[in-house]
Amino acid sequence: MVAEGSDWIVVDKPAGLLTHPTRPDGAPTLWDGLRQLLAYELANRGQLSIITRLDRETSGLVLLALTPERARALGLVMQRGLIGKEYFALVRGWPEWGETTIDAPIIRQGEVRESPVWLKRCIDPRGAAARTDVTLVRRFERDGKKFALVRAEPKTGRTHQIRVHLAHAGYPLVGDKIYGGREGAAYLEFIETGWTPQLAMELLLPRHALHAAVLRFPVGRDIAEVQCGLPSDLRAFAGEAGVIGG
């Protein structure tokens, strides 16, 4: 648990953990773990509601409400786009800009052309409006290849938005099985074979290098801000570049 109020909490979800149950296969989830951890509190407050969700491979901050009243209030705030989010991402290449805005509509790729991966998104004028502000934190080299640490602030909430936008800009996330190249073939290969030495050589990390680092949300008349730094796997990959603010 990273921060808490009287009727909300923010936790730091590790990469690889589902946020909530999606299939009846008994896979562990953040939601199940927190229900066990907060069993006494829930018996008195009555509810655990996930307000912000993260993909399984994305690490970082998740906001949850502990009462029906707070869940409704934060749900309305979410709908109005009043929850601020910032992510750190490790990308391939050296951006030439210090700051940029990627303003490009996003749609599920299968709606506009053939797609080997059903959930893959793409940029298309028929898609929903999507905007991401991106700031370069630091460039670095690793094994003779160029990478960068960037801060991404989505202004809309489209599925896979940061990953799609950065790949579209020419800087795909390290470890991204869907948007890192080969039209998602790495993702299909991973589903069939699991993690292999060949995939490790191609992707460099077993998960996409995206971390939810900052959440801002209104609580009454105040704005709560919660932060957490890069997790150990992304710090290790970036070396000194993983020291935010350094």
CB 83 within 8 A of CB 61: no
Q: How far apart are CA 170 and CA 176, in angstroms?
A: 13
Q: What is the pLDDT of residue 126?
A: 97
199-236 pLDDT, tens digit each: 999 999 999 999 999 999 998 888 999 999 999 999 99
Q: What is the pLDDT of residue 43?
A: 67
Q: Which domains does the chain have, with CATH numbers?
A: 1-82 (3.30.2350.10), 83-246 (3.30.2350.10)
Q: What is the pLDDT of residue 34?
A: 78
Instruction: Show the CA angle centred on residue 161, arms to residues 189 and 35, nearest 5°.
Output: 80
8-46 pLDDT, tens digit each: 999 999 998 888 766 666 677 886 777 777 776 666 666
CB 129 within 8 A of CB 105: yes
Res. 192: pLDDT tops 60: yes
Question: What's the pTM?
Answer: 0.91
Res. 181: pLDDT tops 90: no
Annotated active-site positions, please? 55
37-94 pLDDT, tens digit each: 777 666 666 688 889 999 999 999 999 998 888 999 999 999 888 999 999 999 999 9
